[in-house]
Chain A
Amino acid sequence: MAEITMMKIGPALIVPIQVELHNRAAAQVQEDIIQNIEQTGARGLLIDVSKLAVVDSFLGRLIGDTAAMARIMGCQTVVVGLQPEVAITLMELGLHLEGVYTALNTETGLELLERVIGDKVDEIETGHSAGEGVI
């Protein structure tokens, strides 16, 4: 049930999350993503959550942790497709997805990733290079 299809486009690994993940499946997906980054040499990770009607603190943490792991692997993460009501709810919940780039959709997400991984890492970390994508 935790089968997630990943795709490599250019330097980026695309991961659409469409299914509900339970604790064990979530750990498995994280592992799969990190292994994929290693095998493909991806420098960008795009997580598409447009099919999710609810993102609770469990899933929010999973996304944040995965982005942190990816960063250690030299890979920058952008989360795309957050539905407006999900974005509103996340803020009220107190989940700010700090340190994760976001974009409206896959297309703008890939553009953002290209800019981010084309820049120096120290610039990315201070958020100067792609400020509009950082929340």
Chain B
Amino acid sequence: METKSIPPIEITSVEGIIAVRQKVRELASKMGFGTVEQTRIATAVSELARNIYQFAGKGMVTIFSLEGDRKGIQIVCEDDGPGIADIELAMTDGYSTIKSLGLGLPGAKRLMDEFLIESEPGKGTKVTITKWL
């Protein structure tokens, strides 16, 4: 499948979260996603970018436009942070280690078509989300 990506965006601050949200919305709009879909994608990315900032301090977000038979947008959010010991638990609504609402990961999954999370304690976390056009 053909893919194109814009340069990865570093998340080291809240400004990074805002930047990545704007970029993803821009690209989604250009690809032809409607405003509700754009908002779903931007919100999911906001949750994941905020997780990077909150738990790992820094990380990277790369946005791909998938241009094969099936068009879509894919976003990869990765960090070298503490990782997640129990992914199943982390994907549970309301579970949080930082007194947040615990909706970030399960919420982002609901907002997207595909959601893949890979994580190992001490090594970091990589979340790949996709929305088909």
Q: Counting CB contacts under 8 A, is A27 at the interface? A: no
Docked-complex contact A57 and B35, CB < 8 angstroms: no
Contacts of A22 in B (CB 8 A): 13-14
Q: How far is the CA of A92 from the CA of B111 in the complex (A)?
A: 6
Known: A58-B50, A93-B43, A94-B106. A20 touches B18 (CB 8 A): yes
> In whole Å, how far is A4's beta carbon from the nearest beta carbon of chain B?
16
* Residue in A closest to B17 when the chains form the complex, CB atoms: A20
**Interface residue tally of chain B, by bracket?**
20 to 34
A94 in contact with B107 given A22-B14, A54-B43, A56-B50 (CB within 8 Å): yes
When the two chains form the complex, which single residue of B21, B39, B107 contacts A86, counting CB atoms closer than 8 Å? B39
Interface residues of B in 15-49 (CB under 8 A from A): 17-18, 21, 25, 35-36, 38-40, 42-43, 46-47
**Residue in A23, A58, A60, A92 whose beta carbon sits within 8 Å of that of B110 in the complex:** A92
- Number of A-B residue pairs with CB-CB distance less than 8 Å in the complex they form: 66
Q: In whole angstroms, what is the CA distance A83 to B36 when docked?
A: 10
B100 within 8 A of A: yes
* Interchain CB contact under 8 A, B100 and A58: yes
Main secondary structure of the interface of B (DSSP, over half): helix
Question: Which residues on the B side are within 8 Å of A53 (C-beta)?
Answer: 25, 39, 42
A61 within 8 A of B: yes
Q: How large is the interface on A (under 10, 10 to 19, 20 to 34, 35 or more residues)?
A: 20 to 34
18 contacts across the A-B interface (CB closer than 8 A): A20-B17, A20-B18, A22-B14, A53-B25, A53-B42, A54-B21, A54-B42, A56-B50, A57-B107, A58-B50, A60-B101, A61-B101, A88-B40, A93-B43, A93-B111, A94-B110, A95-B103, A95-B107
List residues of B whose CB falls within 8 A of some A CB: 13-14, 17-18, 21, 25, 35-36, 38-40, 42-43, 46-47, 50, 93, 100-101, 103-104, 106-107, 110-111
